[in-house]
Structure 1
Amino acid sequence: MNRNDHLRRNVPRRRQSIVLPKRRHHLSLALIFLILLIGLPLVWAQLFGNDDDAVPKGTVSVATLPEDQIPSPLDRNNSDLPDLLAATVPMGDNPTDSIVTTDALGNPTPSSPAASKPASPKSKTIRLPDPRPAPTPLDPSLTRSSEFGPIPAPNGAGVTPLETYRGADKTDLDSKPVSVIIGGLGINAPLTLRAIDELPPEITLSFAAHAPGLQGWINKARLAGHEVLLELPMESEAFDAQESGSDRTLRTAASVPDNRRNLHYLLSRAQGYAGVINYNGEAFLRRSDAVSPILTELKASGLGLFIDGAFDAPSLPALSQSLSLPYNTAFGIIDPAPDRALINQQLDTLIAEAKSGSGAVGVGFVYPQTLDAVKGWAATLSDNGLILVPATATLK
């Protein structure tokens, strides 16, 4: 035994690969078998079959039944059939008409088809709600010139913007009026759209004077039936000079010409509003020397004035009355915080205030919670003997 034989015996044997038949081979065999299975019977019939086997041969006759032997007495005109009801039911009467049946509740129901036929329905009249009247078009004659452009003013006939642009008053003599003003509009577009589209048209909408696209917002609100107010920023006790619109805020330290100039700028931002309402202002409105020239300008503009009632301004009623300026102080803020339970509580208090007096007005902000609460609250007013009216209907 040589060395190579020894190595050959110690090398592990490798497994031999098995060659399987190819899939194509199996498919070919199956196809040939299928052709033979179908073709052989056809070939056999062609070679050894007889064509005469497919031709029908012979006839079968079926006798018809004579007509007079049809076994149905109902088809015969036989006068000998007895009339079993001749002694009890007159000729021509339907015996089932006298049968009275009862329904599931024991009520008698007639059995005849004619009696049971439902009466023809009476015509119904469907009353559609009156179409919302189109807003009064903007009237250029209800303006006067300022260095910033047109601002509101009565026209030559003495007609004022308040009279022209106020909302329709649908006061019911049997119901006491109540009003709501929703403010802060024009800054947040989605919430502004919600207020315009979802709130009843009797809700008065108040727009921030520095809102972008202010005239477009006012036009849209008026088209939806709302009357509109313009918010005038006024100095608060915590006045922030960095707040948006603060450069046009009416301030106690400003001179009368400067405050008048800022007022004209604010009033020139748009047209179509019926009045104005304060935005903040507890510091400014408590100073009669600062506020008196502003009230004189508002009177000359033919507008109404609302104060939100969040604070006391004792001199305002007397000053407004002395100028014959249409004026009203609201009941207060209905949403001191965006909390639905708190807002509902304030709205209930507003209902009580409206029942005990006349012309109660609540002021809210365009919080989502406020919009939802006011919508639900407005639907309950008729049950409380109240009617929702535009805020200008409460002006004194």
Structure 2
Amino acid sequence: MAGLPLSELDQPLGQAKRAHAPWPYGRWLWRGLTSALAIVFTGLALYAALKRDPVGGEPIATAMIRERPSAPDIANVPPQPATAEERRGPASANQLETDSGVTVVRPGADAPGAIIITVPDDGAIKLAPSPDKRLVERTRHGLLPKIGPDGATPLQVYARPLGPAPAGKPAGRIAILVGGLGISQSSTSEAIARLPGPVSLAFAPYGADLEKTVQRARSEGHEVFLQVPMEPFDYPDNDPGPHTLLTGPKGSDNLDRLQWALGRVTGYVGIVNFLGGRLTADDTALTPLLREIAGRGLMVVDDGSSPRSLLASAATKAQIPALKADLALDAVPRAETIDRELQRLETLARDQGAVIATASALPVTIERITRWARTLEGKNLVIIPVSAARGFRNPSTTGSLR
């Protein structure tokens, strides 16, 4: 076995294999390869960064954040002598015009070729927000109106103001109350948007989102009334709806029914009957209801639909502000009939000083009233809110339906 090379297992412990001499250029080659790889990876990283950020590599500005110096103690600053400009005092208007290069033409001065532009007032009138916390009380039927501790009433606070007086004395004033709102959303939206702001709106207590709808009407400048369902002569064949105020023994719960209706919404100035031929002719049934209304600071409007109605006269006796409509515009809902009633309304306005009409929120009615309202300025007639009509009635007028 002599002369054969020994394997690693056959070598004696502690005796390593004989090492070969190292390659003299290996160290430099390794360093070069390492540097080349570093350059390649650095380039790839830089490319990837620039690829993700299109504006990468652009110059970067560095801002220094410093604490703002504190304001000087004015009390310890000695007074400075006034400058020449300060001693001269404020510049005159002419001097300011000269310095600025602006020429001002004053009234009475000649201004050849000048054009006077008049910006019309849009007549926007804002109504007081509702509910006013002074004017509501919380009950099981919701927020009910009341007279405030300072004596303010919903009629006074929620009514639409008359606004600036028209130039010259009008030949007559016309108040229109459009009812039946709150049930049909399309008719209600059209009435709110198209009718002039001074036209008052009456809402039935049955609509969905009634509070929201009423507030939208008030935001457009319309004062609001609440229609209260009352028993007609042909009840129950003709039923005004749930919570109708009734006569006779059935009317023992009328106060509760009335409060239910009053609590459906806020921001109204008064109530108007919805139907009610039988109830409004019954003084016994009216008395406790009017007492309730008087204690809540509201006004009463009789829509004039029943010639036997005692509503307005009984309310006046109870010292409640009250009015009775003179005519209904759309008892016959045709355009030519409504136009004829509007012409009649103009005549009554000139005779009585102020006149009140009722109407329903029918599309034809809204369209005819809107068209007619544009002609009133040329006729020296104005539309006023219903709440204001009492102040312009001639003493000799009765306010009955004609």
Pairwise TM-score range, normalised by the shorter structure: 0.5 to 0.7
Instruction: Please report how far the alpha carbon of residue 256 of structure 1 lies from its aligned counterpart in structure 2 after TM superposition.
Output: 5.2
Match of residue 352 from structure 2: 357
- Residue 113 (structure 2) aligns with: 121
1:238-387 equivalences under 5 Å are 238-240=234-236, 243=239, 246-254=241-249, 257-313=252-308, 315-387=310-382
Counterparts of 2:210 and 2:390, CA distance in 1: 25
Cα deviation code 1:217-257 (max 9, x no counterpart): 100000001101110011111223684x6220011135554
- Retained in 1: the 8 A contact 2:210–2:265? yes
The Cα RMSD (Å) is 2.0
Consecutive unaligned residues in structure 1, runs of 5 or more: 1-118
Cα distance between partner residues in 1 of 2:202 and 2:271:
8
- Aligned residue among 211, 220, 228 for 1:224: 220
SS in 2 for 1:247: coil
Aligned length: 277
Partner secondary structure for residue 278 of structure 2: coil
With over 3 angstroms needed to count, the CA separation of the structure-2 counterparts of 1:293 and 1:198, relative to structure 1, is same
Alpha-carbon displacement from aligned partner over 1:103-146 (angstroms, at most 9, x marks no partner)? xxxxxxxxxxxxxxxx9631433314246233211112101243
Question: Deviations along 1:325-345, whole A, 9 cap, x unmatched?
Answer: 000000121101221111111
Higher Rg of the two aligned structures: 1
Say whether residues 1:166 and 2:159 are aligned partners.
yes
Hey, what does 1:209 align to over in structure 2? 205
Q: Decide whether aligned partners of structure 1 residues 254 and 230 sit closer, same or farther in structure 2, where only a CA change above 3 A counts.
A: farther
In 1, are the aligned partners of 2:173 and 2:382 still within 8 Å (CA)? yes
Provide closer, same or farther for how the CA distance between residues 242 and 384 of structure 1 changes in structure 2, counting only shifts above 3 A.
Answer: closer
Q: TM-score w.r.t. structure 2 length?
A: 0.65
Matches within 5 A, 1:130-145: 130=122, 132-138=124-130, 139-145=132-138
* Distance change >3 Å, CA 125–CA 346, structure 1 → 2: same
Amino acid aligned to 1:246: G
CA distance in 1, matches of 2:329, 2:375: 17
Instruction: Quote the Cα distance in structure 2 between the aligned partners of 1:162 and 1:363.
Output: 19
Mapped to 1, the partners of 2:299 and 2:161 lie a distance apart of: 15
Q: Aligned to 1:276, what secondary structure does the other structure show?
A: strand
* Corresponding residue SS for 1:362: strand
- The 1:316/1:191 distance shift into structure 2, 3 A limit, reads closer
Counterpart Cα distance in 1 of 2:153 and 2:223: 15
How many percent identity over aligned positions?
27
- Equivalent position amino acid for 1:347 in 2: L
Label 1:141 to 1:132 Cα distance change in 2 as closer, same or farther (>3 A). same
1:272: how far off? 0.5
Counterpart secondary structure, 1:270: coil
